[in-house]
Structure 1
């Protein structure tokens, strides 16, 4: 299996000294390729609105087709793990009552179904892959929330906060095991190929989480190290999502690898935007605390880019972050909001915000270029492009 190396590819076109602060929205202000960009329905509908509707339909299809199979998989779990998992997915509240809490964005299921169509198969062929990837993704969220001490996800208390750390660990492990079951039960050669890609992506995801944790207590993390970590933690599973449906549909390795490369770079673009939202995102939109990544001492892309620039803002930021790394968690939790605001302002002044916005655009472009090496129906390619556009303009 081949994927493009994150650090070497992303370095192409990188500004050597990111010093211009960005004063706009935390996400990417430019409008990249919008699906059907030249479309005009004659009734005042813009191409942006058309692209937004197309993406909304893709995400809804992914959610609608995968959720029944996902629910059936969760029902296999023994009590109380089945109820804890149902709470995590937003199907019930903490008291066990049916809930309509907002779930995830469904990008991964949407990609899995679309990749089946890239192999000229029906989107339903990708459903087992969509569910397996979603199970691994949510395994990682359950453990990540516990490791980071996050108390909120999707505008409500996280599993470990409601049900305790032990249940968060056990349910996460159970979801991971279920993912393999879902694919292997198909009993086909294609399912075996898909499982190999999923297990490789899962290992990389875990590698990325380990890197992320280790960076929290380092004074300096380079942009290259950060991209490598994010390529593992986020890029690997999105790469799998973008190829697993095609593999289940009988695609050859060349096609699967090209789709995987698309997903890998899409994941890096996704994470770059996530890093922006993790510092400057609106808590009402993200469902997380203001300055959430700074509270966790994360060495995300804006931080790494800022520290790698020259000037008084970078020097002052390095001094503050070095002192932060030496503090206990209890001491760090006593920080006032103004202290986090100061660090965010220094990151922006040193160019970290603007550089990360540009990096998301670069990864977006590279993802779309990966599609050029393979043939697929034009409509399917447009939808891959529309999903990439969505990733870099989202607000949560």
Structure 2
């Protein structure tokens, strides 16, 4: 089950995925194979497979067109482009983090090698701009996507830089999370509306909604990286703790000024002497797990409240609100 509502998920499968498959045919065979494997269209030998992923970003792009009162067909390029950029970011992210498993199977770089995974990601980003620039109001939409990619890569760079530091502040960690994940989700909430020529105040309101749920999404990802069940998440649990990555729960614990938080900070900086289970226990005792959960919930409530100030069709308002609630309630 994807994060999007059933009807919108059906639209992603019936409209967006076929368009993505057609676009992959523009690539050379090597990049096409790696890119399609990452999306889940086929296995490492090119045999058909069922696409994975949550479908959140393309669903938001479709909903943003409906928010503007436009037909969904106009928003398909927006939905395709944002999902291609998301896939490019995952290809690079897995390589940067040396993750060997995603969605219950080996990551693309682990199968094809670092170079092919990197190049396939580059090829997908190029396709994303190509499909968007040719759409109505494509110039504005492409600039918006480019700005989101700039923030995404800045967030990834900050995430990587944090790994070499003994301490990270909570505010800068939240900014990193907002850039790394919130920027593209916020962009997805605007692209369909931009293509359809929506009023500026509606586009801005949808952007704020996406920014809030995007940050919440990343915080839930951080929590699942520590306490999620691998059979649900499709990734090994505890890898962030083993690598001593700074995420919102770990930073909150280390800066909590509680006995458990001080002990956690000491052990985390030592990079030895405590296994992932003990570190997770200290995070929870410090109150950081609960704090992160509640912070994500507040962001979602704020996002939903913001929808009330926008002129939206009621069915779209309801779908966006339901989707936001699912962001914090998910287990994968």
Task: Provide the TM-score with structure 1 as the length reference.
Answer: 0.81
Confirm or deny that 1:193 pairs with 2:140: yes
Which residue matches 1:68?
18
Which residue matches 1:290?
237
Which residue matches 1:26?
none
Check conservation: 1:63, 1:110, Cα contact below 8 A: no
C-alpha offsets along residues 114-134 of structure 1, whole Å, 9 cap, x if unaligned?
000000001221110011000
Tell me the CA shift for residue 185 of structure 1: 1.9
Tell me the CA shift for residue 56 of structure 1: 3.0
C-alpha offsets along residues 302-356 of structure 1, whole Å, 9 cap, x if unaligned?
11111121222111111111112xxxxxxx7xx8xx7111111111111110000
The alignment covers a number of residue pairs equal to 331
| Structure-to-structure mapping, 1:1-396, within 5 angstroms | 55-100=5-50, 102-186=51-135, 188=136, 190-324=137-271, 339-396=275-332
Structure having greater relative contact order (Cα 8 Å, sep ≥ 6): 1
Structure 1 residues 95 and 261: CA distance shift in structure 2, 3 A? same
Tell me the CA shift for residue 95 of structure 1: 2.1
1-side partners of 2:166 and 2:215: how far apart? 23
2-side partners of 1:265 and 1:297: how far apart? 26
Tell me the CA shift for residue 283 of structure 1: 0.3
Larger C-alpha radius of gyration, 1 or 2? Answer: 1
Between Structure 1 and Structure 2, the one with more helix by share is 2
List 4+ stretches of structure 1 deviating above 4 A: none
2:79 partner SS: helix
Task: Provide the TM-score with structure 2 as the length reference.
Answer: 0.96
Tell me the CA shift for residue 218 of structure 1: 1.5
Check conservation: 2:82, 2:128, Cα contact below 8 A: yes
Q: Aligned-pair RMSD on alpha carbons?
A: 1.6
2-side partners of 1:305 and 1:167: how far apart? 37
Structure 1: state its 5+ residue gaps: 1-51, 325-331
